[in-house]
Amino acid sequence: MNLSIEQVGKRYRGDFWGLRDFTLNLGPGVLGLLGPNGAGKSTLMRILATITRPTEGRVLWNGEDIAKTPDGLRSVLGYLPQDFGVYPNLNAVEFLEYIAAVKGIDGRAARQRIDELLALVNLTEARKRPLGGYSGGMRQRIGIAQALLNDPKLLIVDEPTVGLDPEERVRFRNLLSDLGGERIVLLSTHIVSDVEATATDIAVVDRGRLLAHAEPEALLSGVEGRVWEWVLPSAELPAARERWKISSTFRRADGVHVRVVSAVPPSPDAVPVAPTLEDAYLSVLEGHRAERLEKVA
């Protein structure tokens, strides 16, 4: 089972490239795709889900170009788009039966699968209610259920935890970790903690380009010894913000606790702390942006 993305690019109107020269090779596991808004994550997801054709490059699923033979991938694909709709007059079971039929799943197997999926996403009790009356979180869970209907070998989920309550979010993270063992799961999000909890690999994307692809441990080791924390009086925070790339702040009785990614200690009082994935992600982004600015200069 292999998904190979080879120098893929997508150009939109006005000569704007949503994705450029993107290369990545994936095997079973959960790939967390991290990047700021507009980085090109959703473009990549849509290309992999055979919704959008790349302008250049190719994507191979087990050696087959998905632009030429999309159905080979589609029969084993589960896709949860960032924005999607449902038919408001159908209930959950009817809607999933409809999607199952379109995906080519045998009727009896589909019914059993739907029962399991509705239990999994905690919608068994709401199964007979029209989807038009569902809350945003419930609708998102229907989206998750439809993506898993055909027991996909490639599962693509774009911002899947949007609208979910904390309990459902944790449950979905666990589910993704379970699923990742025997299939390829692509999780696109800008919520670093979701990736931290599930991903076996991480790809950082910005401005349509792949900045880093590594295991979480490798990313973390890249910032080992470069994350600092110290306490500032509130009045000095604006000056510190201008000087350092601050990854987080929190106020305490003794002042503002500031966390910074930096090669050198930002203050004599600063102490090194264990890095988080968020620190590593920000470090990759900042490193790349600084490099780009240097090139421009």
CB of 291 to another protein, least distance (A): 33
Task: Kindly give, in sequence order, each residue whose CB lies less than 8 Å from that of residue 119, ignoring residues fewer than 6 positions away.
Answer: none
CB of 279 to another protein, least distance (A): 31
Residue 153 is a binding residue for another protein (CB under 8 A): no
CB of 225 to another protein, least distance (A): 39
Q: Which of 9, 32, 81, 266 binds another protein (CB under 8 A)?
A: 81
**Count of alpha carbons within 13 angstroms of residue 156, beta-carbon side:** 20
Residue 13 is a binding residue for another protein (CB under 8 A): no
CA 232 remoteness from chain centre:
34
Measure the CA–CA gap between 214 and 15, rounded to whole angstroms: 31
Site for another protein in 166-205 (CB under 8 A): 167, 171, 178
Measure the CA–CA gap between 120 and 238, rounded to whole angstroms: 47
CB of 51 to another protein, least distance (A): 6
- Distance in Å from the first CA to the final CA of the chain: 44
Measure the CA–CA gap between 67 and 53, rounded to whole angstroms: 6
CB of 20 to another protein, least distance (A): 18
Residue type present at position 275: P
Q: Which of 113, 169, 209, 213 binds another protein (CB under 8 A)?
A: 113
Q: Which of 97, 194, 196, 278 binds another protein (CB under 8 A)?
A: 97
Name the residue nearer to another protein (CB basis): 42 or 247: 42
Angle between helices 92-103 and 136-148 (to 10 degrees): 30
Residue 112 is a binding residue for another protein (CB under 8 A): yes
Residue keyed to tokens 């399991």:
116
- Residue 252's Cβ-count burial label (10 Å; 0-12, 13-18, 19+) is exposed
Q: Which stretch binds another protein (CB under 8 A): 21-29, 77-85, 213-221, 276-284?
A: 77-85
Helix then strand count (H, E) for the chain reads 10, 14
CB of 99 to another protein, least distance (A): 6
Task: Summarize as ranges the residues that interact with another protein (CB under 8 A).
Answer: 46, 49-53, 71, 74-75, 77, 79, 81, 83-90, 94, 97-99, 101-110, 112-113, 116-117, 119-120, 122, 126, 129-130, 132-135, 137-138, 146, 148, 150-151, 165, 167, 171, 178
